[in-house]
């Protein structure tokens, strides 16, 4: 068979059922093979970036490796943003690119680009295949590397002549990866030391990142929390890995995290950090982050342990094994349950004092928080929610009630505008029986809305809650707070909303609904849920001045968190013990009366 046939056969043997791509000259032999493929479905995207994000959404929703295909030169370079996005969020993606013929490599041939060199910093591994007989092993190795250890994107570049070359195909190939041996088994001595430290702690907190979700360790996390009574905070990438209705759940920490979650980290005497990388959006100023806490840090990637914060007990291993063995240490009596009743009472006090809430828009316009809160209440925790990047992403993280893993997809590390629409399509492909909602902003939507057409033609009927405030909302918020209200090039619509998203969505093949009042929100959501033969876009026209609170300014101390404009709770163990300014009571009382 040909090298192109071998790519298809290899993917099928690895269990791949769908690929997202766009053909071009250097990858036409592979598309000839895809034309005859019986087990492998190809989804024709409208832009290669959409193929990459769709592969990411598929992987995040299904737990499998997402696969995307592009031709050489501009086709391959259009994948770069999606590859970088998958790299920073540790998503298993296999990107297959065509390359100009071997004799032309290095001659600046038509549509030639050194995609290996370009993507080396943003892939877990990449390779150019020089011989057709090497293709089965190259695809198998790429799939293995992408999906094991700390997951991530891998790129396989195949010259056109190699795709046409004939050879004798055999499977399975012999994989030769002598330098790749992820350590999944934690050291028992480190587990024991961590258990003893937890037993002695007075204010411990489980600081949980996306690595726990990727390790499918949600049941082990729940078991450990129940066994020890240690409170839990989950990062933006880990929402859903621990049920938010659980009494030990304190919320999401970080720049727009909840006061109880931020307070738990700031006042802790022990951080049990698992599958998280101490991202700057969580820590703020690292010199003032969790100042009195010792640190246990467990991660499957040894490069992350101790990279940002000095660690007292480092553990390298799979999160599922780490949590299971820590739980066993307490069950077997090797460690005693920590006595932390006063600590839990303190954090519950913060939950009562600083509830989730928002202020109505002063101009009477529709509040975006109300939209998302209503969506969550109506659709429920079984759906998959996919967010773009910006204010709507943070409101979704704050106002959707996540109870189950793999129900929250977003671009966390790279913060990629345009992620939501293609990723939602990929999520629907990976979990066809799930209801999928993309929560997008008008700025993000205008970057990748062409994939609505792909979804309409390919039969992926996901829904879109389009939060239209006529602005690049998060940038506008920063301009409001830090740049004197100088709205430099952030207004997208204004009094005249351009484009008309209802007409645009209909032209792309979707059903479209426009909502401007609270009374219209729930009926529109119900109507969208009844339509399952094509995508649905609901345009919610909201006020342009809505802001995301709480907030910690970039680079500031987490102790300087603002609960609302000019209202800041204090985290000072020695003096105020978390007491807030006097006027915070008035704000909480108002929000309680609103039922928020």
- Say which CATH number the domain at 314 has: 3.40.50.1220
Contact 596, 356 (CB under 8 A): yes
Helices (H), 380-415: 391-399
* 556 assigned to some structural domain: no
Residues of the chain with pLDDT under 50: 573-596
Distances (CA, A) of 540 to 160, 190, 375, 516, 564: 47, 51, 12, 6, 24
In this structure, the answer to whether residues 519 and 392 fall within a common structural domain is: yes
The residue out of 132, 164, 196 marking a domain boundary is 164
Return the pLDDT at 367. Answer: 96
In this structure, the answer to whether residues 391 and 419 fall within a common structural domain is: yes
Return the pLDDT at 586. Answer: 41
Q: Measured between alpha carbons, how far is 371 from 468 in angstroms, rounded to an integer?
A: 11
The residue out of 541, 567, 584 marking a domain boundary is 541
* 576 assigned to some structural domain: no
Return the pLDDT at 572. Answer: 58
* 551 assigned to some structural domain: no
In this structure, the answer to whether residues 271 and 312 fall within a common structural domain is: yes
Reported residue count of the chain is 596
The CATH number of the domain where 151 resides is what?
3.40.50.970
In this structure, the answer to whether residues 201 and 315 fall within a common structural domain is: yes
Return the pLDDT at 493. Answer: 77
Give the domain extent around 66.
Answer: 3-164
In this structure, the answer to whether residues 503 and 392 fall within a common structural domain is: yes
Q: What is the pTM of this model?
A: 0.94
Return the pLDDT at 360. Answer: 87
Contact 571, 268 (CB under 8 A): no
Q: Measured between alpha carbons, how far is 457 from 449 in angstroms, rounded to an integer?
A: 14
The residues, any chain, with a CB within 8 Å of residue 344's CB and separated by 6 or more, are 229, 231, 248
In this structure, the answer to whether residues 322 and 396 fall within a common structural domain is: no
In this structure, the answer to whether residues 137 and 230 fall within a common structural domain is: no
- Among residues 392, 490, 485, 488, the alpha carbon closest in space to that of 440 is found at 392
Within a 10 A sphere around the Cβ of 457, how many other Cβ atoms? 14
Return the pLDDT at 317. Answer: 98
* 397 assigned to some structural domain: yes
Q: Measured between alpha carbons, how far is 477 from 487 in angstroms, rounded to an integer?
A: 9
Return the pLDDT at 569. Answer: 78
* 549 assigned to some structural domain: no
- Among residues 422, 426, 419, the alpha carbon closest in space to that of 450 is found at 422
In this structure, the answer to whether residues 17 and 115 fall within a common structural domain is: yes
φ/ψ region of 575 (left if φ > 0, alpha if ψ in -120 to 50, else beta) reads alpha
Return the pLDDT at 363. Answer: 87
Return the pLDDT at 514. Answer: 98
* 558 assigned to some structural domain: no
The residue out of 513, 541, 569 marking a domain boundary is 541
* Active site residues per annotation: 48, 110-111, 160, 474
In this structure, the answer to whether residues 406 and 319 fall within a common structural domain is: no
* 412 assigned to some structural domain: yes
Look at the chain and report how many structural domains it folds into: 3
In this structure, the answer to whether residues 192 and 340 fall within a common structural domain is: yes
| Token pair listed for 112 | 């030639």
Return the pLDDT at 577. Answer: 40
* 411 assigned to some structural domain: yes
In this structure, the answer to whether residues 372 and 519 fall within a common structural domain is: yes
Strand partners, 170: none
The residues, any chain, with a CB within 8 Å of residue 270's CB and separated by 6 or more, are 197, 198, 201, 203, 204, 205, 293, 294, 295, 296
In this structure, the answer to whether residues 446 and 387 fall within a common structural domain is: yes
């Amino acid at each position: 068979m040909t090298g192109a046939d071998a790519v298809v056969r290899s993917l099928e043997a690895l269990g791949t059922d769908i690929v997202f791509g766009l053909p071009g000259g250097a990858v036409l032999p592979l598309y000839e093979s895809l034309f005859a493929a019986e087990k492998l479905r190809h989804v024709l995207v409208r832009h290669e970036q959409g193929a990459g994000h769709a592969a990411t959404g598929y992987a995040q929703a299904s737990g499998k490796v997402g696969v995307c295909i592009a031709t050489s030169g501009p086709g391959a370079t259009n994948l770069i943003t999606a590859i970088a996005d998958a790299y920073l969020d540790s998503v298993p993606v296999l990107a297959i690119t065509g390359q100009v013929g071997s004799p032309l490599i290095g001659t600046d041939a038509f549509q030639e680009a050194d995609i290996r060199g370009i993507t080396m910093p943003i892939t877990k591994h990449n390779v150019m295949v020089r011989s057709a007989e090497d293709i089965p092993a190259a695809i198998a190795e790429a799939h293995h590397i992408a999906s094991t250890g700390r997951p991530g994107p891998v790129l396989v570049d195949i010259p056109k002549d190699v795709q046409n070359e004939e050879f004798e195909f055999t499977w399975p190939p012999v994989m030769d990866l002598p330098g790749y041996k992820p350590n999944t088994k934690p050291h028992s001595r480190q587990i024991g030391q961590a258990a003893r430290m937890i037993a002695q702690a007075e204010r411990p907190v489980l600081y949980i990142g996306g690595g726990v979700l990727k390790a499918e360790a949600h049941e082990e996390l729940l078991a450990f929390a129940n066994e020890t009574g240690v409170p839990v905070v989950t990062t933006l990438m880990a929402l859903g890995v621990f049920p938010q209705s659980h009494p030990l759940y304190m919320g999401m920490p970080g720049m727009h995290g909840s006061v109880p979650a931020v307070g738990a980290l700031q006042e802790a005497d022990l951080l049990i950090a698992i599958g998280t990388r101490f991202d700057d959006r969580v820590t703020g100023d690292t010199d003032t982050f969790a100042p009195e806490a010792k640190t246990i840090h467990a991660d499957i990637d040894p490069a992350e342990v101790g990279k940002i914060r000095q660690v007292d007990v480092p553990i390298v291993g799979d999160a599922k094994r780490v949590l299971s063995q820590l739980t066993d240490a307490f069950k077997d009596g090797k460690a005693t349950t920590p006595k932390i009743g006063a600590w839990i009472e303190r954090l519950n006090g913060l939950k009562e004092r600083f509830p989730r809430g928002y202020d109505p828009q002063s101009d009477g316009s529709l509040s975006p928080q109300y939209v998302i809160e209503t969506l969550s209440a109506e659709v429920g925790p079984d759906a998959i929610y996919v967010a773009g990047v910006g204010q709507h992403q943070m409101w979704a993280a704050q106002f959707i009630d996540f109870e189950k893993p793999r129900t929250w997809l977003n671009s966390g590390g790279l913060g990629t505008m345009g992620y939501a629409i293609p990723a939602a399509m990929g999520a629907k492909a990976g979990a066809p029986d799930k209801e999928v909602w993309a929560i997008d902003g008008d700025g993000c939507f205008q970057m990748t809305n062409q994939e609505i057409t792909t979804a309409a033609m390919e039969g992926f009927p996901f829904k879109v809650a389009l939060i239209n405030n006529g602005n690049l909302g998060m940038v506008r918020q920063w301009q409001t707070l830090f740049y004197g209200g100088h709205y430099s090039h952030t207004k997208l619509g204004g009094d005249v909303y351009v484009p008309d998203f209802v007409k645009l969505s209909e032209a792309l093949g979707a059903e479209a609904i426009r909502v401007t009042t609270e009374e219209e929100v729930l009926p529109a959501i119900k109507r969208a849920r009844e339509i399952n033969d094509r995508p649905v876009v609901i345009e919610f026209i909201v006020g342009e001045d809505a802001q995301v609170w709480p907030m910690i300014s970039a680079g500031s101390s987490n102790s300087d968190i603002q609960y609302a404009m000019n209202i800041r709770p204090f985290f000072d163990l020695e003096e105020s013990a978390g007491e807030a300014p006097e006027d915070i009571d008035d704000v909480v009382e108002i929000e309680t009366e609103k039922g928020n």
